[in-house]
Structure 1
Amino acid sequence: MSGRTIFWIVGSLVLLGALLWGATFFWEGLGSGVSGHGWFAYILGGVLTLGLSGALFALSFYSARHGHDDIDPPAGG
């Protein structure tokens, strides 16, 4: 991986951490506490969403690189 790619990955993770940290202050200001189960569900939902989006991007790139998206000529003609 290039240095630029690593920079963007680390920067994205830092931004995600800052947003999660900021969300705690927002929730605490609303007066409704989030239990441990709530935090687990929140984090699990975020991780699974990122994983699903990454997998779908990988599948679309794989499909495009291996010709699965090419238009085939009609059969018999």
Structure 2
Amino acid sequence: MSRTRILWLIAAFLALGALLWGATFYWEGLGAGVTGHGWFAYILGGVFTLGLSAGLFALTFYSARHGHDDIDPPAGS
């Protein structure tokens, strides 16, 4: 894995952490408490969403680079 990709992954997880940290102030302002199970589910959902997004983007770029998205000419022409 290249150094650039590792830096992008670190940046993405830092952004996710900042979002989670900021969400706590919102929830505390509403007076709603979040249990340990709620935090675990929230963090797990964020990590899986980030992983799914990264995987789908990787597949899209792989497909485009290897010609899977090219339009084939009609048969017989």
**After the TM superposition, which residues 1-77 of structure 1 pair with which residues of structure 2 at under 5 Å, given as runs?**
1=2, 9-77=9-77
Unaligned runs of 5+ in 1: none
* Cα shift readout 1:41-71 (whole Å, capped 9, x = no counterpart): 1111111111111011000101001100111
- 2:35 partner amino acid: S
**For residues 5 and 62 of structure 1, what CA distance do their matches in structure 2 show?**
15
Q: Which structure carries more relative contact order (alpha carbon 8 Å, separation 6+)?
A: 2
Aligned length: 76
Aligned Cα root-mean-square deviation (Å): 2.0
The percentage of aligned residue pairs carrying the same residue is 74
- Given the two structures, how large is their TM-score scaled by the length of structure 2? 0.78
Change (3 A) 1:7 1:62: closer
**For residues 30 and 70 of structure 1, what CA distance do their matches in structure 2 show?**
51
**For residues 47 and 7 of structure 2, what CA distance do their matches in structure 1 show?**
20
**For residues 53 and 8 of structure 1, what CA distance do their matches in structure 2 show?**
13
Unaligned runs of 5+ in 2: none
